[in-house]
C-alpha cells in the first residue's frame, strides 16, 4: 500500500511541501532551528522510510556513503573490531581500509560469503557490516544467521540493503540493528537525486547527533524527490524484478554469455536462501560476456540500455564494474573479488522485456 504524505499544518496540501529554508523564526519554533539539523521535508521522508523499513526511526543523509560513514563513525570507537567481507561497494571498502584504520579501528576483512563472515564473527566482533545482496556479483548473505550470531556475542549489525531494497528484504525482521540504503538507486527510482538513510530502533540519537556534527545532511529538494519515489517503489520493483528474472534466463542460455549471477536462477548456489529471504527476484542481473566479445563495443552498441555509473532508475542502465565503479581498486583486489574485465551489471528498468532482450541481442552481435 503506498504510504500517504502527512498533511502540512499550513495549507493541508496532499503532497508534502518542500521547505526551502536554511533557518526558522526562533521566537516561534524551538523544534526547527537550522536545516542542517532538521528540515520538515527531510523529516517527512524519514518518517515514511521508517514505515517502509519497519524500524522506529530513519535518519537521512546527503548520500548513501554519507549514511555508511556517518553510521560507522557514530558507533565505532578506537580499539573496536569491525568485521566486513571484501565484496562490499568499492567506496565502502576504501573507507574501511584507508580511513577507519587511521583512527584506531581494527578492520578485519573476510572472504566473501555467509560462512566466512560467520566464522570471523564467532572469533570476535564489535561491529559487523555487510551487504544483504552484494554489488555487483549479487551474492545473497544470510541476514538471519549473521544477525543471530552477532546478537549472541553482543556485536552491532549494519546491513547495506541497497540492492535488495526494503521491498524484497526487511533486515529489521531478522534483528539487524542498522539498515543502510543508498536512496540514489531504487528508492529514488528516477536517477535524479543522491541520498542515503540509516534506519533502526536503537542508537539512533547517537547517529543523528553525529550527522548534525559531520554535516552530511540531506537537502529538502532531494527529500521531496525521494518521497515521490517511495510512492511507486513497490510497483517498480515488482515490474523490474519480473523482467530481470526473464532476462537472467535469456542470458543463461545465450552462447556469448559465459556466466550469469542471479539469486533466482536454479543453478545458483544461493538459491535456497534466495527463496527463504527474498520476497521476489532482484531487479539486477550481472553476467560475464564471452571473452571473445569486446565490452566497450558492446556498451557502445546498446540503444535502449544506457551505460551509466548507477542503477535503480526507471530506464535500464548497465555498467562494467572493472572500468567504472571498481576502477580505484588494485588489479589484485579486483581479481580477488571476481571483478573481471568482461563483467557486466544490468539494472533493469520499466521497459518491455522484448525491447531489452532485443537490445542485448543486437549489442552482443556487434561486439566483435
Ligand X SMILES: Cc1ncc(COP(=O)(O)O)c(C=O)c1O
Nearer to ligand X, 195 or 293 (CB): 195
Residue sitting closest to ligand X (CB): 64
Dist. CA 275–CA 263, nearest whole Å: 9
Residue from 58, 59, 64, 207 touching ligand X (CB under 6 A): that is 64
Shortest separation between residue 61's beta carbon and ligand X, angstroms: 8
Q: List Cα–Cα distances, 36 to 63, 221, 231, 334, in angstroms.
A: 14, 13, 25, 37
Q: Which stretch binds ligand X (CB under 6 A): 145-153, 156-164, 276-284, 353-361?
A: 156-164
Tell me, rounded to whole angstroms, the distance of Cα 317 from its chain centroid. 16
Q: Taking CB under 6 A as the rule, does residue 319 contact ligand X?
A: no
H/E run at residue 347: strand 343-347
Residue from 41, 58, 63, 210 touching ligand X (CB under 6 A): that is 63
Q: Which stretch binds ligand X (CB under 6 A): 33-41, 94-102, 155-163, 336-344?
A: 155-163
Of 144, 167, 133, 116, the closest CA to residue 263 belongs to: 133
Residue from 40, 171, 196, 280 touching ligand X (CB under 6 A): that is 196
Q: Taking CB under 6 A as the rule, does residue 184 contact ligand X?
A: yes
Q: Taking CB under 6 A as the rule, does residue 177 contact ligand X?
A: no
Shortest separation between residue 133's beta carbon and ligand X, angstroms: 8
Residue from 48, 50, 71, 162 touching ligand X (CB under 6 A): that is 162
Nearer to ligand X, 85 or 196 (CB): 196
Q: List Cα–Cα distances, 190 to 58, 198, 291, in angstroms.
A: 21, 21, 33
Partners of 287 in beta bridges = 260, 344
Shortest separation between residue 89's beta carbon and ligand X, angstroms: 4
Shortest separation between residue 50's beta carbon and ligand X, angstroms: 19
Residue from 44, 87, 126, 131 touching ligand X (CB under 6 A): that is 131
Partners of 11 in beta bridges = none
- C-alpha cell at position 139: 551474492
Nearer to ligand X, 67 or 121 (CB): 67
Q: Which stretch binds ligand X (CB under 6 A): 42-50, 62-70, 253-261, 346-354?
A: 62-70
Dist. CA 30–CA 5, nearest whole Å: 23
Q: Taking CB under 6 A as the rule, does residue 226 contact ligand X?
A: no
Q: Taking CB under 6 A as the rule, does residue 160 contact ligand X?
A: yes
Dist. CA 43–CA 237, nearest whole Å: 25
Secondary structure in 3-state letters for 54-80 = CCCEEEEECCHHHHHHHHHHHHCCCCC
With H, G, I as helix, E, B as strand and everything else as coil, classify residue 338. Answer: coil
Q: Answer positive or negative: Cα dihedral of 232, 235, 237, 239.
A: negative
Q: Taking CB under 6 A as the rule, does residue 89 contact ligand X?
A: yes
Q: Taking CB under 6 A as the rule, does residue 161 contact ligand X?
A: no
Nearer to ligand X, 24 or 130 (CB): 130
Please answer whether residues 169 and 303 qualify as being in contact, where contact means their C-beta atoms are separated by less than 8 angstroms: no
Dist. CA 352–CA 368, nearest whole Å: 26
For the chain, the residue count is 368
Q: Taking CB under 6 A as the rule, does residue 179 contact ligand X?
A: no
**277-294 exposure pattern, b = at least 16 Cβ within 10 A, e = fewer:** bbebbbbbbbbbbeeebe
Q: Taking CB under 6 A as the rule, does residue 218 contact ligand X?
A: no
Nearer to ligand X, 24 or 171 (CB): 171
Residue from 117, 143, 194, 251 touching ligand X (CB under 6 A): that is 194
Q: How many residues bind ligand X (CB under 6 A)?
A: 13
Q: Taking CB under 6 A as the rule, does residue 65 contact ligand X?
A: yes
Shortest separation between residue 285's beta carbon and ligand X, angstroms: 15
Q: Taking CB under 6 A as the rule, does residue 87 contact ligand X?
A: no
Q: Answer positive or negative: Cα dihedral of 345, 316, 355, 281.
A: positive
Name the residues that contact ligand X, by CB under 6 A. 63-65, 89, 131, 135, 160, 162-163, 182, 184, 194, 196
Amino acid at each position: 500500500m503506498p504510504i500517504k504524505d502527512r498533511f502540512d499544518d499550513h495549507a493541508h496540501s496532499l503532497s508534502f511541501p518542500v521547505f526551502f529554508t536554511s533557518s526558522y523564526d526562533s521566537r516561534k519554533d524551538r523544534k526547527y532551528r537550522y536545516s542542517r539539523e532538521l528540515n520538515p521535508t527531510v523529516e517527512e521522508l524519514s518518517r515514511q522510510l521508517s514505515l517502509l523499513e519497519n524500524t522506529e526511526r530513519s535518519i537521512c543523509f546527503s548520500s548513501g556513503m554519507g549514511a555508511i560513514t556517518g553510521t560507522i563513525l557514530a558507533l565505532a570507537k578506537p580499539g573496536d573490531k569491525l568485521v566486513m567481507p571484501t565484496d562490499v561497494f568499492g567506496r565502502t571498502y576504501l573507507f574501511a581500509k584507508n580511513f577507519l584504520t587511521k583512527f584506531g579501528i581494527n578492520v578485519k576483512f573476510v572472504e566473501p560469503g555467509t560462512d566466512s563472515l560467520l566464522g570471523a564473527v564467532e572469533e570476535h566482533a564489535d561491529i559487523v557490516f555487510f551487504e544483504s545482496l552484494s554489488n555487483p556479483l549479487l551474492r545473497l548473505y544470510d541476514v538471519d544467521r549473521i544477525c543471530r550470531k552477532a546478537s549472541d556475542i553482543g556485536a552491532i549489525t549494519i546491513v547495506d540493503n541497497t540492492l535488495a531494497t526494503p521491498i524484497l528484504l526487511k533486515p529489521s525482521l531478522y534483528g539487524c540493528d542498522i539498515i543502510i540504503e543508498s536512496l540514489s538507486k531504487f528508492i529514488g527510482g528516477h536517477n535524479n537525486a543522491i541520498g542515503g538513510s540509516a534506519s533502526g530502533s536503537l542508537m539512533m540519537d547517537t547517529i543523528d547527533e553525529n550527522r548534525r556534527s559531520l554535516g552530511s545532511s540531506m537537502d529538502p529538494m532531494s527529500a521531496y524527490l525521494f518521497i515521490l519515489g517511495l510512492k511507486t517503489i513497490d510497483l517498480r520493483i515488482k515490474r523490474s524484478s519480473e523482467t530481470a528474472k526473464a532476462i537472467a534466463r535469456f542470458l543463461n542460455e545465450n552462447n556469448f554469455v559465459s556466466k550469469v549471477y542471479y539469486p533466482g536462477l536454479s543453478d545458483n548456489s544461493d538459491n535456497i536462501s534466495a527463496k527463504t529471504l527474498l520476497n521476489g527476484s532482484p531487479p539486477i542481473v550481472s553476467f560475464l560476456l564471452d571473452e571473445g566479445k569486446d565490452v566497450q563495443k558492446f556498451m557502445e552498441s546498446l540503444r535502449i540500455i544506457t551505460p551509466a555509473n548507477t542503477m535503480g532508475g526507471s530506464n535500464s542502465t548497465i555498467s562494467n564494474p572493472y572500468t567504472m565503479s571498481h576502477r580505484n581498486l588494485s588489479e589484485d583486489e579486483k581479481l580477488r573479488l571476481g571483478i573481471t574485465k568482461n563483467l557486466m551489471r544490468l539494472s533493469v528498468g520499466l521497459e518491455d522485456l522484448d525491447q531489452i532482450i532485443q537490445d542485448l541481442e543486437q549489442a552482443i552481435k556487434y561486439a566483435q
